Amino acid sequence: MSRQSLSPNTPIQPASELTAQVHHSLLSWYAGAQRDLPWRSTGDPYAILVSEVMLQQTQVDRVLPKYQQFLTAFPTLTDLANAPTSEVISVWVPLGYNRRAVNLQSIARQVLAMYVGKLPDTIEELLKLKGIGRYTAGAIACFAYRKQVSTVDTNIFRVLHRVFQGLEYPEPKLNTNSMFSFAEQILPPGEAYNWNQALMDMGATICTSSTPQCTRCPLQECCMAYQEMSQHSLFPSGTVLRELRKVAEKKAPYKAEPFTSSNRYFRGRIIAHLRTLSANTYLPLPELGPLLKKEFQATDLSWLEKLIMGLQRDGLVKWTDDGVGLP
């Protein structure tokens, strides 16, 4: 296929010598700079699943204390599957996005039903579980079973894009599906585990979203994004990257809703209030409303009902004629 016939989302395969240089530089850096994270010292697929779900949309520093606490409460996949959902949610707090706790328990129950309690070891089988996407499937296959597979989260996408494709602003040159395919092609033989972990560490500590530490980066000499930014006199202050981000953000302007006025905020408050109730106790909606906001009126009841319906759909609450409570 000629270069002219490539679609915008078809990655250009780098020269083998460049790929080899990136492999050597990044893996050498990781050998001495890797983060000491508890889920890297275990091969238990269940523990790795827990860590991966916790790390979705949550920073490592917040996950670290909760990870061990959760595994102490539910030491095995079977323990998690058989626990009351209200207890799972209670242990999960305050990580946020409580739906992840319900999804995690749902995955555990599916594994019991479909795989006799053993998480499968292939991406294809893992993707059959509702709640597991391509990234998590790849992470479990690679980190728990040491399979030679790629996985792409936000950090990995950013690092690979910058090194091999250039700046992702104002438009990324690859979409997510193309990046997964590209990541498979450039896996270093026999080093998938260290390679994927190294990419994540690089994205989390050096090749960050808005303030990359390019002068500390072991990939500086072979990074296309660095070469692009080096052409501007404003580099290396980081101004170029920030300005490019502003361009991207202006394409889809929006007025952010204050968090304390958002439905997500009130969903969290509902769960917090319900956790104060004794088991099998239900709170009528007219009583719950004023606990959420002082200015609650009868006209707000339909708004509250929609919130409760969403929480019930996500498996976070149980709504009966007596009111709403934890499942």
Q: Where are the alpha helices (DSSP H) in the chain?
A: 16-33, 45-54, 60-73, 77-82, 85-92, 99-115, 123-126, 134-139, 154-160, 176-185, 192-205, 224-230, 239-250, 263-274, 285-292, 301-313
Catalytic residue among 17, 52, 257, 305: 52
The alpha carbon of 276 is separated from its chain's Cα centroid by a whole number of angstroms, namely 29
Distance between CA atoms of 185 and 112, rounded to whole angstroms? 34
Q: What is the largest CA-CA distance in the chain?
A: 69
Contact at 8 Å (CB) between 105 and 81?
yes
Contact at 8 Å (CB) between 26 and 196?
no
Distance between CA atoms of 46 and 143, rounded to whole angstroms? 11
Q: What number of residues does the chain have?
A: 327
In this structure, the number of other CB atoms found within 10 A of the CB of residue 82 comes to 13
52 is catalytic: yes
Residue 255: in which H helix or E strand, if any? none
**Cis amide leading into 284 (omega within 30):** no
Distance between CA atoms of 193 and 173, rounded to whole angstroms? 26
Active-site positions?
A: 52
